[in-house]
Chains A and B, each alone.
Chain A
């Protein structure tokens, strides 16, 4: 123990260390004496023999440096780091919100566009149908008109042809007696010689009446 106190106080004899020494001597009698001898080599240890965490001699230094370092940490955190992280999170949230709003707006625009497209499509379809109907009706009307014209024409032509046929038939029938007379005269003339035209005619008339 003497060596310990001696080693420590050699550099600077201090009142508090001398005061601590008698109490310390009782606590650390022998077992750690060699420990202290070894640790003295490091120099500057607060090895007054007290259990180090309960050594009041180290308290001022620890408190001062804790105040300095923790104060610095608090200032750096509250002024720099935390506001910055907070602003990053805030910024991200606002960007996400804005993007979601934009996406929503775009979707509404898309919906509107689809509705407009469908309305236009329906409109065009009905218009197309109208045009088709109109065209069909026009064509039908045209067709009907042409057909009726042709039909009238045809009827007229048929009537005319029938009249002509009837006339021709009548005409032809009036000529039948004459032809028969001529033919009979010629045939009779060939067989029995000349006969008078009147007698032949009378014979034909008589024959045709039968």
Chain B
């Protein structure tokens, strides 16, 4: 039954067990083993880095196809950062670029059968969104000092509404890392579960004889359509994460709305 269990694809397996502390035996202490998740993180980073570095090593003035892809990716993210956070936001360009490519490639890896999806774990997406959140808070206070708190006081709002508006702004600001991480995690998790459930239907139904095989065409069509949809969701979520990061960073650079 493991083949049709929709949850099994998210199970983390130790590949090279490493344990800190504990009694020295496997399974005790802090488990920081190299897992299948770690493997795909490494694969994601390796694919991005190798592609970008190898295709641009020739530094051709007239680019080939591979180099053009790297340049277009660069231009795409650079325009995103510049339009959302302005030219002064370009200090965060490497961060946004890394986030976008990491999530995008991890999502694309996740679409390959039997591959592990790094972004289907809330801790990963939460860590990435906390990275963005802390960058915003720390950079915002370092650059603007106390003026950063203007973020919670929208300009043009009458003084007597401020006691209501400021807490709302504060809560919405504090919930950003949660919404950012849950959006990505939820989309990827739900998509993969749905995909697995429908493909599981195919297996279950076709084991029911001739009519079952005929009937399994329906979940088959659904699975094919969902696969296309998941590619779209994987790309769009990476884009959404990057765009929202740019907008949050914009708050750190220009705190007054």
Contacts and interface: CB of A to CB of B under 8 A. Distances in A.
B85 interface: no
Contact of A69 (B12, B41, B120): B41
B contact face: mostly helix, strand, loop, or mixed: helix
Interface string B2-30: 10010110111111011000100111101
B24 to A, nearest CB: 10
A61 B93 contact: no
A87 B56 CA distance: 10
A77 B97 contact: yes
Nearest to B38: A65
A53 B45 contact: no
B121 A53 contact: yes
Interface residues of B, number: 63
A65 B71 contact: no
B94 A45 contact: no
B247 interface: no
Interface of B: 1-2, 5, 7-8, 10-15, 17-18, 22, 25-28, 30-35, 37-38, 41-42, 44-45, 48-49, 52-53, 56-57, 59-61, 63, 67, 70-71, 74-75, 93-95, 97-98, 101-102, 118, 120-124, 127-128, 131, 185, 189
Given A65-B42, A88-B56, 18 more contacts: A11-B27, A32-B7, A38-B1, A39-B8, A44-B13, A45-B12, A54-B122, A61-B18, A65-B37, A66-B118, A67-B127, A70-B41, A70-B98, A73-B49, A78-B94, A80-B49, A81-B52, A85-B52
